[in-house]
Amino acid sequence: MVKRYIFHIDANSAFLSWEAVHRLQHNDPLDLRTVPAVVGGDPTRRHGIVLAKSIPAKEFKIITGETLYAARQKCPELLIVPPNYSLYRQCSDAMVEIFKEFSPLVQRFSVDECFLDFSGMESVANDPVKIAHELKNRVRNELGFTVNVGISTNKLLAKMAGELKKPDMVHTLFPEEIPTKMWPLPIGELFMVGRATSQKLLSRGIRTIGELANYDLGLIKQFLKSQGVLIWNYANGIDYSPVRPGGDFAVKGMGNSTTIPFDVEDRYNAHLVLLSLSESVSARLRQAKVLAGLIAVSFRTTEFYNFSHQRKLYNPTDCTDEIWKITCQLFDEIWNKQPLRHMGLRVSELCQNDFQQVALFTRDYNKQRQADRAVDLIRSKYGPSAICRSSFLYSGLRSISGGVIENEEFPLMTSLL
């Protein structure tokens, strides 16, 4: 029987490292990785959270996901760099091309991490650990940034191995190493155990991964249901999910959201925000050559209450105007004129756009689609700000908005399956 060797490869501080390398290649004398720096939004416009941080920034207790305001309170000299998602895509693609030279079985798990199946490669290399070091060093030497590599017999243990110590490291976590390497770790470090689940486990005296692994499965299932079974299996190193090659086009949905630079209290401005989100989401649909079969709108009030509403479409679409019209209808159905600070748009149930059937009483958006294609061409050639709708002039709003909240081209999986 062929022994499984699964690699989990994760770029260290990916967004910040990629930005640093890009700037160094363009003659910037400062390496962002050597100073307190983060990649995040624009704090002056209220959409600022930390997406990635340097090691010096980590020393100030700055954490990923916190607001830029809070981060600046910890480190007044913090250098903030805006995100560049097209650059991150290029860096991710370059990284994956190197991985494919080691195995044809490469699965993208997110924009900065992949699984690689090295099983059955003993004829090529007898020592998978040596190969992992070679892979890691090639990324560092050829692309200028570092990765961590975790090695085990399944995806779950490989991912846990890669998290043991960073950066630029190779770790193993084989089944026989679980009691010494994984079980002593705090329960919150187990994959799929978030803050809420961690608190539930702690309240029952389960402090470490080992304590969960040795806890009665029936009791775990009683208070955590199917989620409890999943994390109990993970705590015991049980995972049978295969490495599924690809991931680039396994897009289940696309979504953008934005924190608005001022409180939105009227329908006109709310609709403008939704238009700016529709511009970005529909462009991504057309780029991926897919149509949306379901549209969902969400918003957060200034008192931090969240609302959402969705609708399935009879005729899938990628047309900006059509998506915007439906989004506004959904918004109007649930908004009670509360002041808003955050709005989002998500599309899902995607299908190919090689055939489209228009219903008898549905408005024909063919002319709008032709205009969309022309706008896409101009923006791809001259930049996203090359052309915009006049309604955004002097509005204080961006004509295209929405940071990638879920990078659907590289989905953040809820499990390893």
Residues annotated catalytic, as ranges? 113
Residue indicated by tokens 């599924």: 244
Catalogue the long-range contacts made by 177-186 (C-beta closer than 8 Å, 24 or more residues apart).
Answer: 178/213, 178/236, 178/237, 179/210, 182/157, 182/209, 182/210, 182/237, 183/208, 183/209, 183/210, 183/213, 183/235, 184/208, 184/209, 184/210, 185/209
Three-state helix/strand/coil letters over the chain: CCCCCEEEEEECCHHHHHHHHHHHHCCCCCCHHHCCEEEEEEHHHCEEEEEEECHHHHCCCCCCCCEHHHHHHHCCCCEEECCCHHHHHHHHHHHHHHHCCCCCCEEEEECCEEEEECCCCCCCCCCHHHHHHHHHHHHHHHHCCCEEEEEECCHHHHHHHHCCCCCCCEEECCHHHHHHHHCCCEHHHCCCCCHHHHHHHHHCCCCEHHHHHCCCHHHHHHHHHHHHHHHHHHHCCCCCCCCCCECCCCCCEEEEEEEEEEEECCHHHHHHHHHHHHHHHHHHHHHHCEEEEEEEEEEEECCCCEEEEEEEEEEEECCHHHHHHHHHHHHHHHCCCCCEEEEEEEEECCEECCCCCCCCCCCCCHHHHHHHHHHHHHHHHHCCCCCCCHHHCCCCCCCCCCEECCCCCCCCCCCCC
Matching residue, tokens 């990635």: 52
Output phi, psi for 59, to 5 deg: -65, -20
Question: What's the rounded Cα separation, in Å, for the pair 255 and 106?
Answer: 25
